[in-house]
Structure 1
Amino acid sequence: MNLSSFALVFTSVTLSALAQTAFKHGVMRVPLADITGILAKVLGLLMSPFVLLGLTLYGFGAVLWLFALRQLDLSLAYPFVAMSFVMIVLSGIFVFNEPVNPSRLAGIVLIVAGLVVMARGG
């Protein structure tokens, strides 16, 4: 995997992870208990600025992903989506003050090790 291909994949995955973080912010701020009816709840979520930001980030990430797929084998590119797991755990820890435990840290280490092996062999 060359540097430009990695940059496309990394940027796409980063935008997706940022989108998830924006989604979490958005849904935490919508008072769903005060809204009656499923359609009203869905519209309430969709009107959240952070949810809209998340959808926008996903859109840009998807476009970059298309360019990455032009350059890489799918079987090499797709496993790098696992970088989002690492980014999301870090987002949970640093943005939302979620707990850290040894099993989460071990999982992150295993994911990163697997990605390094794939990148060197690809």
Structure 2
Amino acid sequence: MNLVSFGLIFTGVMLNAAAQILMKAGTNAIGHFEFSTANILPIGWKLATEWHIVTALFCYGISVVVWILALSRVPVSIAFPMLSMAYVVNAIAAWYLLGEAFNPTKLVGMGVIIFGVIIISRA
């Protein structure tokens, strides 16, 4: 895999991770809600106008374009597993930015993911 291909995959992973963190920040800003017939429009409006969520959707849109570019250069059997690195990025970002728990079990799981991605990328 050349540097451009790696850069595209890395950018796609980071955009997906950013989108997830932004979605969580948006739902944190809105608070817990229940969907019901009575509140579909009010909650839908809150979701559609919450800047974190709008930015997350923008990140997803850009990531689709980046991902298409990546897939034009890298076999999907190598590229797709690399998306799992978003789990690692998200766990660290959620701990750092959102104060979510980070423990040895998550660290071991992230190590397994990283090891798996290394194995797949060398195949």
Same fold (TM over 0.5): yes
Deviation at 1:117, TM superposition (A): 1.3
Deviation at 1:39, TM superposition (A): 2.4
Q: Which amino acid letter does the alignment assign opposite residue 8 of structure 1?
A: L
Cα distance in 1, alignment partners of residues 32 and 103 from structure 2: 31
Partner of 1:45: 47
Cα distance in 1, alignment partners of residues 106 and 32 from structure 2: 30
Partner of 1:11: 11
Deviations 1:1-36 (A, max 9, x none): 222111100101100100111111111111565xx5
Alpha-carbon RMSD: 1.6
Does the alignment pair 1:2 with 2:2?
Answer: yes
Cα distance in 2, alignment partners of residues 24 and 119 from structure 1: 30
Partner of 1:116: 118
Q: Which runs of 5+ in 2 are unaligned?
A: none
- TM normalised by structure 2 equals 0.90
- 1:46-65 matches, within 5 Å, as 46-65=48-67
Deviations 1:77-113 (A, max 9, x none): 1001101000110111101111112211100000001
User: 1:38–1:12: structure 2 CA closer, same or farther, 3 Å change rule?
Assistant: same
Cα distance in 2, alignment partners of residues 54 and 27 from structure 1: 11
Task: Report the 3-state secondary structure (helix = DSSP H, G, I; strand = E; otherwise coil) of the residue aligned with 2:122.
Answer: helix
Deviation at 1:120, TM superposition (A): 2.0
- Give the aligned length: 120
Question: In percent, how many aligned pairs have the same letter?
Answer: 32
Task: Report the 3-state secondary structure (helix = DSSP H, G, I; strand = E; otherwise coil) of the residue aligned with 2:83.
Answer: helix
Q: Which runs of 4+ in 1 moved over 2 A?
A: none
